[in-house]
Amino acid sequence: MLKKSLSLAVALAAFASTAPAALAYPGGGGGGGPTYGLSDSAKAKATVTLVQPISIHKLEDLKFGAFMLTNDTKGEIKIRTNGSQYYSQGITPAGSFNKYSAAKFEVRGFPGAKYSIQLPDEAKLYNKKGYGVLEAEDFTTDDGYRELNNDGYGYFYVGAELEIEKNTKPGHYVGEFTATVAYVDLNCID
């Protein structure tokens, strides 16, 4: 019996010397060792993105130019986004008074963000003397999808087409149209 007890004591002593501290001292056991397998930890990032509101500012108006009219004048005038002017037969530019330009807008917002541009289908121009209405349509931009630069700025141009009907009264026609921009992607780095 003494032989069996002695070999059991030797086996237990050998096991205790190779066992992890968690088995030798459960819960630390007062022995000051770590508690392997009973707890663990991990780190996670905490992030927030503070976004500057997007804003749009007009830098240049859309100007169709100046033309000579007769009673049977009919045609169209088009301003392209690159600022060039097209006019159909029957319409005669009014020399040095024919000043034209595409509208230009500046967008400000979150650097690197992508934004969309929405333009109207049409806009009315009214004779300042109250004698007629013209309709601008086919509003286009040089790009309907843009990205702000590293300083948070972007620019785009808008053109459109103006129909001139027969017997349109001479005069200075004025109207407004609205361009709307909206964020579509902030391009944040995770």
Structure token digits, residue 86: 């097209």
Domains in the chain: boundaries: 1-40, 55-185
Question: Which residue reads 């009014």 in tokens?
Answer: 94
pLDDT in tens, 34-76: 667 899 999 999 988 888 999 999 999 999 999 987 667 788 9
Question: Which residue reads 């309907």 in tokens?
Answer: 144
Q: Which candidate, 132, 121, 128, places its Cα nearest to that of 177?
A: 121
Helices vs. strands in the chain: H and E counts, helices first: 2, 13
Q: Which segments of the chain have a pLDDT < 70?
A: 1-35, 70-71, 144, 188-190
Fold of domain 55-185: Immunoglobulin-like (2.60.40)
Res 15: pLDDT: 46
What phi and psi values does residue 84 have, to the nearest 5 degrees? Answer: -80, 160
Res 130: pLDDT: 79
